[in-house]
Amino acid sequence: MTRASMIRRFVLTLLVPVATFAQGNDANLRRLESEIGRLSAISGGKVGVGIIHLETGRELFVNGAEPFPMASTFKVPIAVELLTRVQAGTVRLDSMITVRSPDLHPGSGTLSNLFNDPGVSLSVQNLLELMLLISDNSATDMVMKVAGGGTAVNTRLAALGIKGISVDRPTIRLIADVVGIKTLGPEASWSLAGFDSLRGLVTAPEREAARTAFYKDRRDTATPEGMARLLAKIWRGEALDAARTAQLLDIMLRCETGLARLKGLLPPNVAVRHKTGSLGIGVTNDVGIVDLPDGAGHVVVAVFVKEATNDVDAQERTIAQIARAAYDYFAFNPGGR
């Protein structure tokens, strides 16, 4: 071994425990961090992870300060702002909203597939559940309007002391940017057929350029640490009052998407309150709160994958195995000893 390599090894032995102790005074978290590093390679991309054991405050972040595209996980902060307005009395969950043709957007198209004729109205409650349960993008963009848009969501996050999350575009504009559509025209002219027509005009080089530009864009991104801290605040009742906290967690518990992600390798019947996100350019995410067995508490697990070259199955396996590693670690070591 050369003198340079000996010095490097010595420095690393000093630095790693310092980073780990700063995350909760639990030296054994180094083992979990190392395992996450090994598991991340499965994805074929870059992985970011935020983990917080809610009862003890121990935490671990891998690429925790790096922005990752949120995809549909941005629906969690949108829901927080909407429910903040509900508890303030400025929005009613039983208010009815008419679904217009320009409201039907690409992605998770329950609304688009079933209600493509005029004359349909849904309550804010219905739209909220469609947004979180099946990740319907049309419902999301309608909820985002009721919640005041990205500026209102970001203002609420700042008031909560959450850093590293930015909500900026409705899903239709985000998807347009992903696929390389340069302009959608005025909102009143939007339609599914029109969107598909515009997408069909995008050339392969333009799609690749759009992908490159999207990954450089800091809009609609979250750091793993920021998302994990938001979930922790939701759980602790620091983001919403008790009734709205229970409501949001109940909907997230019933989430129907991403069964192969956080939940994929956990024991049967483990409660997971979560929200997934996906974009077909190598982005696969799942963020949530996992119940631990035998009084071991609860653990926030937020996993983001970006720039992945492997298929979605590999990305989902990465998320599932990281979630299982975190589950096992805190289930067998709940007190940090």
Question: pLDDT tens-digit profile of 149-204?
Answer: 999 999 999 999 999 999 999 999 999 999 999 988 887 778 888 898 999 999 99
The reply to whether 164 falls in a domain is no
pLDDT bucket at 337, cuts 50 / 70 / 90: low
pLDDT bucket at 130, cuts 50 / 70 / 90: very high
Residues 205 and 237 in one domain: no
Q: Check residue 24 and give its pLDDT.
A: 46
d(CA 26, CA 169): 39
d(CA 118, CA 124): 18
pTM over 0.85: yes
Residues 40 and 119 in one domain: no
Residues 303 and 283 in one domain: yes
Question: pLDDT tens-digit profile of 264-291?
Answer: 999 999 999 999 999 999 999 999 999 9
Average pLDDT, the chain: 90
Domain edge (last residue) among 184, 216, 248: 216
Q: Hey, which residues does 61 pair with through a beta bridge? A: 50
3-state SS string over 116-179?
CCCCEEEEHHHHHHHHHHCCCHHHHHHHHHHCCHHHHHHHHHHHCCCCCECCCCCHHHHHHHHH
Work out whether the CA dihedral 72, 312, 34, 212 comes out positive or negative: negative
Residues 251 and 291 in one domain: yes
Residues 188 and 105 in one domain: yes
The reply to whether 105 falls in a domain is yes
Residues 28 and 62 in one domain: yes
CATH code for the domain of 290: 3.40.710.10
Q: What does DSSP say about strands 120-123 and 221-222: parallel, antiparallel, or unpaired?
A: unpaired
Q: Hey, which residues does 299 pair with through a beta bridge? A: 53, 290
Mean pLDDT value of segment 72-94:
98
**Domain extent at residue 287:** 16-69+221-332
